[in-house]
Amino acid sequence: MQIKVLFFATLRDRIGARQLEVALDEGAQSIGGLRSELMRRHPAASQNLQVALAAINEEFAFDSDAIQDGDEVAFFPPVSGGAAGAFPEIFRLPTGPIDHNEIIAAITTPRCGAVCLFTGIVRGATDKPGHLAQTEWLEYEAYQAMALTKMKQVAAEIRARWRKVEGIAIIQRLGVLQVGENTVLCACSAPHRDDGCFEAARYGIDRLKEIVPVWKKEVGADGASWIEGAYLPAASDKSVTAP
């Protein structure tokens, strides 16, 4: 059996490669078996592999899940913190700046009188445990195909909870970003301010940091470090449209 294995963030550094073609014996044809085999082949990454999240063909997978010939399997740490139907939706992973006014205009329909927009920027200093005290720049990377799929899942979850939300935008920048640059955006529009747009935008950014596979590396005078989250997806985090 031949499969493609992708590695992201800390695992990419430990393995020394972003992608490997791996031949699996019969006893290793599950996520748990593949995990053990990779730990044997790459002992320097064994600790990270042991706790890594997994995906098969862009959907969360678990140790008991079987792997088929030709599958794409990804291992990664917990996430660091278009149009569909009748309502506008935007899902992007750009490398350039986010134009907030363009996004607001794109998700506002004639029925909308309210837009709530959350945007994040690169901090230069922080006292949060586990982060560099002084940051010179950040590097963001993503498992891009899966990230876009999970962004759409976040939007579907928003719609299931706040029925009056109309437009949704979820955007995460990738690449090297300097202090003060915008990094992420979640915006929701609705007819009125009390129709859920505040709550939906907050839910969107929080959920993005749980299930959308994006990671950041902080770089400063004291070194560099990938920032990994603590959220561990469950079977319920799989998309309802997944096969």
pLDDT, tens only, 123-164: 999 888 888 889 999 999 999 999 999 999 999 999 999 999
Residue 228 and residue 10 in contact, taking contact as beta carbons nearer than 8 Å: yes
Instruction: Provide the whole-model pTM.
Output: 0.78
Sheet with 59-61, strands from edge to edge, namely 19-23, 2-7, 72-76, 53-56, 59-61
pLDDT digits (tens, 9 = 90+) for 70-110: 999 999 988 776 434 568 999 999 999 999 999 999 999 99
**Whole-number average pLDDT of the chain:** 92
Residue 230 confidence (pLDDT): 86
If you search the block for the tokens 């590695």, which residue do you land on? 7
Q: How far apart are CA 39 and CA 178, in angstroms?
A: 35
Residue 81 confidence (pLDDT): 64
